Chain A
Amino acid sequence: MKCLFALLSIIWLNAASHAAGPLALGTTTTLRDSGFLEHLQADFYATHGIAIRSIVLSSGQVFNAAKRGDIDIALTHAPKAEQAFIKSGLGLARTPVFYNHFLLVGPENPSLKLSDNVSLADALQSLHEQKLPFISRDDESGTQAFEQKLLSQLGIEPSGEYYIKSGRGMGPTLQLASQLQAYTLCDWATWQAYRAKLSLQPIVNTPQAKQNQYSLVTVNPNTSSHPTQASAELFHSWLTGPAGQAAVETFQVNGQQLFHAGMAKSEN
C-alpha cells in the first residue's frame, strides 16, 4: 500500500496543473526553427506571466492532436486543414495573424533555366517537366499543403525517382536538399534560419506573393474533450491585439524581418 502511494505521488508531483495556466500551443516546425516561437513566448510571458508549452508538429498533426483534445490552441499555416477543423465543429474560429511567403530553393549550380520574374507555379512546372530532383515534405504540413495546391492547379501528379519524399520537418528537408543538391519549397522564416548552413540558393523568391498565411485556431469548448483554458483566450487576444502584432513585426534574424502582421489577402 505504501508502495502504491509512493508511485502515485511521484507521478502527481510531476503532473502539469492545467487549470493554473500554462498554455499547450500546437504549432509548426517553421515557427520553431526560425526562433520566432521563442520570441513570442518570451514576449507573452513578460506581459501575462503565462508560460507557453509548444508542441511542435506538422500542421496536419496539430489538428489530429486538437481532435484528440490534447492542445489548447493551434497556430498553423494550412488554410484548408484549418477550415476543415472549424467545419467539423471541433474548432471555434480561425484568425489570420501573420504571414510571409514561400520560395523555391535549389542547388548552387542550378540546371533549371528560368526567366526573370517567373512565378513559383511556372518554375515548378518547368522543374517537373525536366524531372529535376525535388524534395517534398510529405508530412501533412502547411508547406506540404501549399505544394499540393500548386500541383493540383498545374494538374501535375509527380512520379518517378526525381521526386523525393522526406516525411520530415522543414529544417531536415532543407538539409536533405542541400546534401542531394536538389530543389525544394521553403517558407521564408526557416530559410533565413538555415541558409548559412546550407549549400543552396534561392531560385524563385517573390515576397509580394505572400502565400504563407499563419492563423490562430481556437478549440470549441462545447464539442472538445479539452477543458477550456483562460490562457488560450488571453493568448488569442494578445496575439491579435497591438502588443502581439508588434512582436510579430519586430522579429528579425540577420537584419531581416521574417513575418508581417495581419492577413495577407482574402482567401478564395
Chain B
Amino acid sequence: MTTLLPLNLNDVSYQLAQKKLLRQINISFEAKNLSVILGANGAGKTLLLKLCCGLIQPSSGQLQWAKTLSTRRGELPPYTLVFQKPVLLQRSVLANLCFALQSLPKDQVLPRALAALEWAGIEHLSSRNATTLSTGQQQIVAIARAWATAPEVLFLDEPTANLDPDATERMETLIANLHHDGTKIIMSTHNLGQAQRLADTITFLDHGQVCEQQSAKAFFTAPKSPIAQRFLSVQGFKP
C-alpha cells in the first residue's frame, strides 16, 4: 500500500483580494515524525493547513502528495482535519461518530464508533447531545471522530487553543497516542510549551512566509532565523 507522504509544497502562495496571505512556501512533510507548524496569531497557520487539506486552492505553485488522491465521494478520506472550534452535529456523540463512518459497510459502522469512544475514554458521553458538551469534551469527540476514520495523515488546527489545562492535557495525550500508533500528525500552535512537548519537527511561519523548517531539538536550541529568535525570546523562552 503506497503512502501519501511525503507532502511537498513547491513555491506555493495564496492570495485573497489582492493581498498575498501566504507566499514562497517551499516545505515538505515527511512520514513518521510529528510536525508542528509554529507561529504567532495571524501568521497564516490555518490557511496553510486548509491548503494542505484541499479546502482552498493555492493561487500559484503546487501541492503534491506522494500518490494521487481518489476524487470519488462516499469513501473514507485518507486525511482529515480537526478544527480549532469543534464542528459537531446536533445529535448524540455516538451518532456523530457514526456519521463520519457512513461510507463503511453498514455492519462495520457501529463497532468502529464504539471503539473510538473507548479509545478516547468517552464511553460515558455516548448518548449525550454533542452540542451540549463543554468545549473540551467536544474537542475530544472531534479527535475521536478523526481516529475512527483511520486517516493516514491527521491535521490539527490549534486544537487546544480554546481549552482549559485539563482538557489540553487529555488532547495532547490522545495526539501523542495517534502519533505512536503510526498516524502522521501535522498540527499548528502558537503555544511554545505544547510545541516543545509534542514536536519532532518545527515549521516556523511568520506573516505568511516559512522562516525555517528543522528538527524541534535544533530549533529550540538554536533557531536559524532572526524572527524565530525574537519570537522565542519575546515569549520568555530560554534554550
- The answer to whether any beta carbons of A and B sit under 8 Å apart in the complex is no
